[in-house]
Amino acid sequence: MNDKAFLQYAMEQSFIFPQVGTAEIAVLSRSLEKNAGYTFTDNRHPHIMPYSLPVAMTRKYTKSALYDIRHNARLYTEYNLLKHDLSENIIMPAEFAELSKAKQVLDLDNVSRQAAQRKKITATIFPSAFIEQYKNIRAEYMADTQKAAEVYQKNPIAVNIALLNDFADMFQKFMKKTHLPHLALKLNKKRLLYYLNEAAQLLKTHQILSWDFCETHNFYGEDKKFFHKEARYCRDTFEKLIKLMCQLPDEPQLFAVIQELLISPRKFHNALKIYREKHECKNADKIAELRHKEQKLFRYFAILQYLNGARAAFENKFLDECPQKRPPALPTVSPEEELKKISKIVAEGRAVNAAGKLCVMYMAALKNYGDVHQEFLQAL
């Protein structure tokens, strides 16, 4: 495999298998289905709905990255230096006292010339500014969503009203789509109504839904090629509606309101009006806006996490699969001098100004998040 082919392979794999650690905020999952995208879930705040990253978006990032690899001379220069370092395979002795501190300061998965050179190679494609800004954004996101959670806790009635309205909006959107002349949608409309009513009745009578409630309720066409897409849409909608329903407190009246919606929008609006008359709430609209802004914030944060994961996978995992032959590891006899060389490579990498399509897209993603963050703060 020549250099160009390997680097393209490493880049493609990085966007297919982004490196997302267990300490990350959003848990990433991917369906085994063909052309399935990535789903991000914020387990710290269950009220935030999961976000599915479109496959088209991941392909766009990958395509831009592969274009940059073909037109980046600096990349190949740095890659040749990596191959030289691998051919020597000099490593730091494990007992070196400064190793742990250096790993944290230099932000390396392991303290070695090879790891430092991988970071420098990565900097020719991925903007170094993105890494530092993402770290700050990550901490910022955690603090801001915690503040929002405290606001929700102080305004339970407003949250209930927001949940009911969100449920109604999603449900009515689904009902409009079932007007399309598609067999899977028409057949699954009846199933969805029945399943939701079953769930509402269980919750209304102070019962809990089993952990596999959604999995044990099937939709027509899930196992059929020509109906699978529409059936998948029905299941996704069902799971989201159940998630919203399960966020409501154990108050029978709330689930009775949902059951009225399953009959007609008019009955729902009348039932919701009665609920609001019985429960004074002056800030329902503000709480609803905050929830929607927070959901949007999570969507743009998930994109940043995915992009950082692709960068980390390229640097720490797939570049390390370089086919260069490596002799047995040779611990350096002068770890202090080796650490200076490693630190110098890292510093040089931080000074590299990445250029290319991917760099523009990464910086645009940061700006987009910043704009959405300002909207969220105004609502907060």
- Indicate the helix (H) or strand (E) that contains 115: helix 113-123
Residue 334: per-residue pLDDT = 92
Contacts of 61 by beta carbon, 8 Å cutoff, 6+ apart? 15, 307, 310, 358, 361
Indicate whether 22 pLDDT > 80: no
* Per-chain mean pLDDT for the chain: 92
Please write the tens of the pLDDT for every residue from 110-123.
999 999 999 999 99
Contacts of 216 by beta carbon, 8 Å cutoff, 6+ apart? 210
Distance of CA 370 to the CA centre of its chain: 17
Q: Which long-range contacts (CB under 8 A, 24 or more apart) does 166-175 make?
A: 166/244, 166/288, 166/291, 167/241, 167/244, 167/245, 167/258, 167/261, 168/261, 168/265, 168/268, 170/237, 170/240, 170/241, 170/244, 171/196, 171/241, 171/261, 171/262, 172/265, 174/234, 174/237
Beta-bridge partner residues of 158: none
3-12, 45-54, 203-212, 257-266 — which is least confidently predicted?
45-54
| Dihedral over alpha carbons 5, 7, 13, 17 (to 10 degrees) | 170
Q: How many CA atoms lie within 13 A of 5 on its CB side?
A: 3
Reported residue count of the chain is 380
Unique residue bearing structure tokens 């009911």 = 164
Residue 31: per-residue pLDDT = 63
Backbone angles phi, psi at 39, to 5 degrees: -115, 130
Across 39-57, average pLDDT: 90
How confident is residue 225, by pLDDT bands cut at 50, 70 and 90? confident
Question: Burial letters for 305-337: b for 16+ Cβ neighbours within 10 Å, e otherwise?
Answer: bbbbbbbbbbbbbbbbebebeeeeeeebeebee
How confident is residue 1, by pLDDT bands cut at 50, 70 and 90? confident
Give the rounded percent of residues in the chain with a pLDDT score beyond 70.
Answer: 97
Beta strands in the chain (DSSP E): 26-30, 38-42, 51-53, 90-91, 330-331
Indicate whether 35 pLDDT > 70: no
- What strands lie across the sheet with 26-30, from one edge to the other? 26-30, 38-42, 51-53
How confident is residue 23, by pLDDT bands cut at 50, 70 and 90? low
Indicate whether 34 pLDDT > 60: no
Is residue 243 within 8 Å of 235, Cβ to Cβ? no
Across 242-264, average pLDDT: 96
35-39, 67-71, 129-133, 176-180 — which is least confidently predicted?
35-39
Question: pTM for the complete prediction?
Answer: 0.91
How confident is residue 236, by pLDDT bands cut at 50, 70 and 90? very high
Query: What six digits make up the tokens of 105?
Result: 């300061």
